[in-house]
Amino acid sequence: MPNLILGRRRRAPQPVPSPFPSRSWKLVARAAVLAASILIFCGGAWAQGRPYFVAYNHHMEEPGALEISVNPVFASQAGGNDFLATWVELEYGAKAWWTTEFYLDSQTTRNESTLFTGVRWENRFRLLWREHWINPVFYIEYVDINDADKIMKDVVGHDSEADHATPNDIARRERKREIEMKLILSSTVKGWNISENIVAEKNLTNEPWEFGYAFGASRPLALAARPERCVLCPENFVAGVELYGGLGDRYSFGLKDTSHYLAPILAWNLPNGTTLRVSPTFGLNDNSHRFLLRFGISREFGGFGRRVANLFRGKKP
């Protein structure tokens, strides 16, 4: 028989809502499991992966090597549902001066749906053979995605948090085909890598050129490597920071109505060729997401090109 107080049914105490929706953090946990699954691949060779998520430096993929990486980003969303966007990246060293990459983009938005949002094909060309004070790299990428894409691999033009509040079933209907170019200027100074990226992006319609920037600085915690292989040695950890944002477009170049982000980064290079990265990211103005959490895992497979060639020739890898 129900408990009655003064003739009224006593209500059970109502739980206090959490400021962080549990389902959003479940998305992060699922992405972590997906990223960790890449560790089951065998093989690999030691390599120091690029620590940045947005900025690029002048280091190219080793010729004939394949790197596979999974890079999720969780974002809190004002005026919309929180989301988890992920890109899977296949990076191949075609030549010592040429690295090519293929991306598969997807996203999950809380209370909405999970979508495959498109593909990207990126190529980077190192312009100077030897190490110089400033090492320029030319970057060009073809993008074929829909408007629901939320990986935020770059921030250009007047990109803002509000762009990601459109419901998936509406945003997915608009297709975007773009060409993106970057001039990457990267230097190594006393163990520090300092990289500046100038970004220009053009939608292949009658849209104006959009511009952006990315700046990165990073350094290993120790420069001298130990002769023995170890997991927790300071030289295996790289710490740094990224700063990136939009610079308007051809008709309204500048900082007005643009978004900008500051992101500390930490990368851990394991001896088996695996690199783990994490970057809590903070929006710097009202047009930006308040908070992003980027994390990634990558694994390099040396000699991949030679093994594939031997398979076609009927030789043992």
15 domain-assigned: no
Kindly state the DSSP code that residue 13 receives in the 8-state scheme.
P
Q: What is the pLDDT of residue 303?
A: 83
Q: How many residues does the chain have?
A: 317
Q: Is the pLDDT of residue 2 over 50?
A: no
1 domain-assigned: no
Q: Is the pLDDT of residue 1 over 50?
A: no
Question: If pLDDT is split at 50, 70 and 90, which confidence band does 317 have?
Answer: low
- CA 7, CA 315: separation in Å to the nearest integer? 86
- CA 86, CA 32: separation in Å to the nearest integer? 11
197's CB contacts (< 8 A; 6+ apart) are 55, 56, 139, 182, 183, 184, 185, 213, 214, 215, 216, 244
Q: How far is CA 28 from the centre of its chain?
A: 15
pLDDT, tens digit, 9 for 90 and up, residues 267-280: 999 988 899 999 99
- CA 58, CA 130: separation in Å to the nearest integer? 11
pLDDT, tens digit, 9 for 90 and up, residues 281-306: 999 999 999 999 999 999 999 887 77
Backbone dihedral angles phi then psi of residue 184, each to the nearest 5 degrees: -100, 125
98 domain-assigned: yes
Closest CA to 281 of 296, 302, 270, 269: 296
Question: If pLDDT is split at 50, 70 and 90, which confidence band does 13 have?
Answer: very low
Report the 10 Å Cβ neighbour count for 23. 11
Residue 10 or residue 169, greater confidence: 169
Q: What tokens appear for 32 in the block? A: 């972590």
CB 200 within 8 A of CB 209: yes
Q: What integer is the mean pLDDT of 31-40?
A: 48
Q: Which helix (H) or strand (E) holds 224?
A: none
Q: What integer is the mean pLDDT of 104-111?
A: 96
Report the 10 Å Cβ neighbour count for 172. 17
Q: How far is CA 249 from the centre of its chain?
A: 23
Question: If pLDDT is split at 50, 70 and 90, which confidence band does 22 have?
Answer: very low
Q: What integer is the mean pLDDT of 216-230?
A: 88
CB 197 within 8 A of CB 56: yes
Q: Is the pLDDT of residue 17 over 60?
A: no
Q: What tokens appear for 276 in the block? A: 């783990």
Q: How far is CA 147 from the centre of its chain?
A: 18
- CA 284, CA 255: separation in Å to the nearest integer? 12
CB 242 within 8 A of CB 52: yes
pLDDT, tens digit, 9 for 90 and up, residues 51-62: 999 999 999 999
The pTM (predicted TM-score) of the whole model is 0.83
- List the domain range (segments joined by +) for residue 143: 47-312
CB 239 within 8 A of CB 218: yes
7 domain-assigned: no
Kindly state the DSSP code that residue 182 receives in the 8-state scheme.
E
Q: What is the CATH number of the domain that holds 251?
A: 2.40.160.40
Q: What integer is the mean pLDDT of 169-178?
A: 95
CA distances from 64 to 45, 278, 316 (A): 12, 27, 17
Q: What tokens appear for 114 in the block? A: 């999970």
Q: What is the pLDDT of residue 209?
A: 97
2 domain-assigned: no
- CA 28, CA 224: separation in Å to the nearest integer? 35
11 domain-assigned: no
Kind of pairing between the strands at 274-283 and 291-301: antiparallel
Question: If pLDDT is split at 50, 70 and 90, which confidence band does 20 have?
Answer: very low
203 domain-assigned: yes
Q: Which helix (H) or strand (E) holds 146?
A: strand 135-146
- Enumerate the β-bridge partners of residue 260: 245
28 domain-assigned: no
Arithmetic mean of pLDDT over the chain: 86
- Between 13-17, 178-182, 200-204, the lowest mean confidence (pLDDT) is in 13-17
Q: Which string of b and e fits 204-243 if b means at least 16 CB within 10 Å?
A: eeeeebbbbbbbbbbbbeeeeeeeeeeeebeebbbebebb
pLDDT, tens digit, 9 for 90 and up, residues 123-159: 999 999 899 999 999 999 999 999 999 999 999 999 9
Number of domains in the chain: 1
- Enumerate the β-bridge partners of residue 142: 121, 179
Q: What is the pLDDT of residue 314?
A: 65
Q: Is the pLDDT of residue 8 over 80?
A: no
